[in-house]
Chains A and B, each alone.
Chain A
Amino acid sequence: MRFTVLPLVLLVLVGCRNDPAGPNNGQNSRPIERGVYVLNEGDFNTPNDARLSALDIDRDIVVTDLFESGNAGAHLGTVGDDMKFHNGRAYIVMSRSQNLVVMNLSTLAKEAEVFFPGSAVHDLLIDSVGNRLFLTRLFSSSVFVLNLSTLTVIDSISVGSNPQGMALANGKLFVCNSGYGSDKTVSVVSTGTNDVITTLTVGDGPTQAALASDGKIWVACTGNAFATPPTTGSIFMVDPVTNTKVDSLLFSENLWGTISIGSDGYAYVLGVTSGNFYGGPVHRISTLTKIIITNFISGTYYGLAFDNVVREIYVADVKNFSGNGEAKIYTSAGALRKTFAAQKGPAVFCFKR
């Protein structure tokens, strides 16, 4: 009996299939002198899957796992949602691991990391004048105010549901309360007192805001496809001096919510592709005439940015999160100039010159 049991156990334990090779945890790479950095959101259910990649303009190569290469394989966190550059540093926020990472852009080394237990921090905005950093708390209906030097939380501002994008103008912070379509307000906050001055009603699902060259805040609203009756996307223009709505544009379909103001006199927003799940085509709006050109760049894009130096449009295709995504560069005339590889879920672009 003893001699029968043991081979059986061995057979079961040794006869099983090997695990696959582990994922690539980073490659050696030197910092990028000039290039476009891409924050790749990563898989929602894979821990530490957010990645930073970049297109090195000088070498014309794509470098992946930038953060890992500068930090002995350590990762950024889970679900990278926003990134801003300031004073030679990248500020990167991860909503699912609830942390903010500050990375030195010259050395790629992590300089600081702050955790926000219980807060799905989602979008960030840097107020260099006030030396503050604002972080929206996606499921806490509030905004954290941090001292930019110490990264300590100095205040929390109550706003509307599921706050996402922010814009700063005229000493005021404009917070988009998306409610994922169920809220329709923008909280106007005095950056001097951190008090909400007023709350503006805009279209369903205000998601991102940007300051246009005419001094107005442009707020992109997704609309709510599941409301009764459904509502479509819109853009509202807010005067940051009077805190009033001055104009609006209604789209015939929903918007994704991402907006970028170009130095070429146009605003660019992402629509929603019918039957697809992550974003949509690029629509272009003249900031002067408000004329809309829908499907200016066709496709399904999850991320959007405008390079104001060379006047090019960057879009990110996450390919339904079914593998690594890719990014494309279009000229201001809408012609495809370049396609380059990204990692899983490319979402945010930042430019380093």
Chain B
Amino acid sequence: MGFFVVQNLLHTLWLTPCLLFVCGFNLLASEQPADSTSVSDTSRVYELREVLVTASRIPQTASLSAAPITNLDLHTFEQSNASSLGGVLSMVPGLFVKDYGGGGSLQTIAQRGLGPEHTVVLLNGMRVGNPQHNIVDLALISTDEIERIEILHGGNSASYGADAVAGVVNVVTKGAVKSNSIRAATSIGSFGYRKIDLSAGLSSGLMMTTAGYREEKGRNNFPFVFENGQDKVALVRQNADFSSRLGTLSSEIGFDSENSLALHARVFSSERGIPGAVSGPAISSVARQIDNDDLAQLRYAGSSSAAIRYHLGLQYHYAKYRYSDPQFLVGSLPLYNESNVSEVRVEPGVNVALTDNLRAALGFEFARADAKGNSLSNEIRRTSQGAFCSVEQKIIPWTDALPAFYVYPALRFDRIATSQHVLSSWSPQLGLVVPLKQLGAITPTLRASVSRNFSAPTFNMLYYAGGGGVGNPRLRPERSSSFDVGGSLDCNFLGRQTATLSYFDIDMNDRIQWVATGTMIVTPKNIRSVRSRGIECSYRWIMPEGLGELNANYTSSSTRKIAEDFAGDPNVGTQLIYVPQEMANVSFSSTKVFENEPVEKIGGAISMMYTGYVFTTEDNASFLPSHTIMNCSVFATLAFMPCRVSLRVEANNVFDESYQVISLYPMPGRSFRATLGIELTE
């Protein structure tokens, strides 16, 4: 404990001058007289950048969501320094991003102690998970593409169907820009990092179009220390290089104020070395992985009256994966795995305001996924149908002594079928939100939600036929019950402050585990029961006078095996591996905007992420120690209209902490990155 405290105090001593530096120019700036200073804080409206979210598929604000919601926007991206979706999500309470070595390495999400296959990832509201393994590699989605992210915590199969057991992540991409513009940016950084980002926007009448191209690469050959008892061997990460190319096209046609058509298309390819696990000082890997991920979405939204809005989403998604390892022979041939997965989705829906106090969302989802690959036993076609209905009922009590409150019942039916495997599931949910009476500057809100959720076996679980394992077509879906209760406090005092607290409890049965069934052969079975409980709290303070924004959150959770996997299993009650019992994040950013000055904006951000220790073995005998990572950045924008120049300098892992998120996968130490951008706007 003593060492831990001293270590963190040392970090804090470093942190303090950095924070003061970041705040400094704003404190100075705030000394200048300004009109707004004469207005009291309690009477000023502070922009929370609260956006409409779709927790129950009914547009609503986050404060009226029955399930806890985290909204991340460009401001949060600035604070995190993250270049990928995974880096941003690691700032969110309850989310643990499993990072297999930084740079272009695999990143997966683990929410509320469950696996990556238990969180649904949406792109603009439509599911993008690969049905072969139901894992989204967060490293392959750049923050350059993202406008905002909505994270729905807790089970939500009633709205989103299969796999929404731990939560839903909806990534909203940047749409078409509303002016004619050209933007170019380039980045350079440690370990051979290079990036160029080009985009052009065209706006003409009702139509707006933006096209973009991005190239990113890095050697990622960072130094690290391999420990063997008391010996420490200095090594350099090998075969960790990555390169990716992304082309995007976003177009919007606004027929009128109510009817619009939006297109989003992306063509992505990447190649990366797979450095593998460092299980000894002489490990050398030459494995390579090539990914292609192409997607096209067409979304139409319209209305026939003020009370009825309808929408239709069409999506085509194609993913190709190739993995080769010349050192790993299967017979006399080097290992080569390839898979091709394509999916077509059609999602019509309607939102109806039946009365002032009663709204409903009805919708359908139809999907057909086709997969083939040399690690699957046969070509697979899966068809999915889902139908859901969500209702928001505002109830006004008979007496003013009681507050009005909202009830959110929802129900969904899913049927998912392959040639050998059919599952159907009803998923109910009931939510409650009670906005309490304002207490001075504070507005408290209480909420609760209970739901029944499920997760469908992936193609690999059902039909894997590659080396070392065999799929099991007899698998049942994983079932879970989820309960959430919590509240929030909104306060207009010294700016805008919001605090939220949630308690969650997920009880999961029939969890699928890959288990050994012979010499080096594993197969999945429905054998595990898991209970995950914990609290998530967050705090956001948008300070007055644009002084800055502070975000802090803390998660404490316990995810334990509650029944024997096999007769005599001694590990009942132990914490699951790679589930930190504690996580905490603090980030602060400050931006000063100057009017009519060549320097348009200048600012800085600092963030610290603490991840508690994680067990790496089921008997909880081995663990990875806790780590604290600090990132910081400064940025400025110069305006010489119509040209705007932006500069950003980032330092990551400032204290050069040596750590691993996944055992045997070292993470990079201190690194730097600089980005220069030029934008021409009409």
A interface vs B, CB < 8 Å? 1-2, 5-6, 8-10, 12-14, 16-20, 23, 25-26, 43, 45-49, 68, 71-75, 77-79, 94, 96-99, 115-119, 139-142, 158, 160-161, 178-181, 183, 205, 207, 222, 225-226, 254, 256-257, 272, 275-278, 319-323, 344
Q: Is the Cβ of A277 less than 8 Å from the Cβ of B517?
A: yes
Q: Is the Cβ of B331 less than 8 Å from the Cβ of A161?
A: yes
Which B residues are in CB contact (< 8 Å) with A119? 327
Q: Is the Cβ of B622 less than 8 Å from the Cβ of A23?
A: yes
Q: Is the Cβ of B229 less than 8 Å from the Cβ of A68?
A: yes
- Determine whether B676 belongs to the interface, using a CB cutoff of 8 Å to chain A: no
Q: Is the Cβ of A277 less than 8 Å from the Cβ of B515?
A: yes
Q: Can you give 18 contacting A-B residue pairs, CB < 8 Å? A: A1-B548, A12-B552, A14-B9, A16-B584, A16-B612, A46-B617, A75-B228, A97-B281, A98-B279, A98-B280, A98-B283, A139-B327, A139-B328, A141-B332, A272-B518, A276-B566, A277-B515, A322-B569
Q: Is the Cβ of B628 less than 8 Å from the Cβ of A13?
A: yes
Residue of A74, A75, A180 near B521 (CB, 8 A) is A180
Which A residues are in CB contact (< 8 Å) with B664? 45, 47
Q: Is the Cβ of B280 less than 8 Å from the Cβ of A322?
A: no
Q: Is the Cβ of B519 less than 8 Å from the Cβ of A256?
A: yes
Q: Is the Cβ of A48 less than 8 Å from the Cβ of B229?
A: yes
* Bound CA–CA A19/B7 (angstroms): 13
* Bound CA–CA A10/B552 (angstroms): 12
Q: Is the Cβ of B619 less than 8 Å from the Cβ of A115?
A: no
Which A residues are in CB contact (< 8 Å) with B16? 6
Which B residues are in CB contact (< 8 Å) with A344? 617, 621
Instruction: Map CB proximity to A onto B196-236 as digits: 1 under 8 Å, 0 otherwise.
Output: 00000000000000000000000000000011111100000
Q: Is the Cβ of A13 less than 8 Å from the Cβ of B11?
A: yes
- Determine whether B73 belongs to the interface, using a CB cutoff of 8 Å to chain A: no
Residue of B229, B328, B467, B582 near A75 (CB, 8 A) is B229
* Bound CA–CA A293/B581 (angstroms): 50
Which B residues are in CB contact (< 8 Å) with A10? 12
Which of B279, B328, B467 has the most C-beta atoms of chain A within 10 angstroms of its own C-beta? B279
5 new A-B contacts at CB < 8 Å, known A13-B584, A116-B282, A161-B330: A16-B584, A99-B282, A118-B327, A142-B329, A226-B470
A-facing residues in B24-39 (Cβ within 8 Å): none
* Bound CA–CA A5/B608 (angstroms): 13
- Determine whether B401 belongs to the interface, using a CB cutoff of 8 Å to chain A: no
Q: Is the Cβ of A47 less than 8 Å from the Cβ of B20?
A: no
- Determine whether B378 belongs to the interface, using a CB cutoff of 8 Å to chain A: no
Q: Is the Cβ of A19 less than 8 Å from the Cβ of B277?
A: no
CB distance from B394 to the nearest CB of A (A): 36
Q: Is the Cβ of B229 less than 8 Å from the Cβ of A225?
A: no
A-facing residues in B455-494 (Cβ within 8 Å): 467-468, 470, 494
Residue of B278, B467, B543 near A180 (CB, 8 A) is B467
Q: Is the Cβ of A43 less than 8 Å from the Cβ of B12?
A: no
Which B residues are in CB contact (< 8 Å) with A1? 23, 494, 543, 547-548
Which A residues are in CB contact (< 8 Å) with B4? 16, 18-19
- Determine whether B655 belongs to the interface, using a CB cutoff of 8 Å to chain A: no
Which A residues are in CB contact (< 8 Å) with B20? 2
State the 10 A-B residue pairs at the shortest beta-carbon distance, nearest first.
A97-B280, A115-B282, A73-B229, A117-B284, A78-B279, A74-B229, A277-B516, A13-B8, A323-B619, A96-B279
* Bound CA–CA A295/B645 (angstroms): 78
* Bound CA–CA A78/B226 (angstroms): 13
- Determine whether B366 belongs to the interface, using a CB cutoff of 8 Å to chain A: no
Instruction: Map CB proximity to A onto B508-532 as digits: 1 under 8 Å, 0 otherwise.
Output: 0000000111111101000000000
CB distance from B95 to the nearest CB of A (A): 16
Residue of B539, B566, B618, B626 near A277 (CB, 8 A) is B566
Q: Is the Cβ of A48 less than 8 Å from the Cβ of B586?
A: no
Q: Is the Cβ of A47 less than 8 Å from the Cβ of B230?
A: no
CB distance from A50 to the nearest CB of B (A): 10
- Determine whether B193 belongs to the interface, using a CB cutoff of 8 Å to chain A: no
CB distance from A300 to the nearest CB of B (A): 10
A-facing residues in B223-260 (Cβ within 8 Å): 226-231
CB distance from B551 to the nearest CB of A (A): 10
* Bound CA–CA A170/B115 (angstroms): 54
* Bound CA–CA A116/B231 (angstroms): 20
Which A residues are in CB contact (< 8 Å) with B567? 275
Which A residues are in CB contact (< 8 Å) with B230? 72-74
The answer to whether A97 and B283 touch (CB under 8 A), given A14-B8, A141-B331, is yes
* Bound CA–CA A323/B520 (angstroms): 19
The answer to whether A222 and B518 touch (CB under 8 A), given A5-B550, A14-B9, A68-B229, is yes
* Bound CA–CA A256/B520 (angstroms): 10
Which A residues are in CB contact (< 8 Å) with B228? 48, 74-75
- Determine whether B671 belongs to the interface, using a CB cutoff of 8 Å to chain A: no
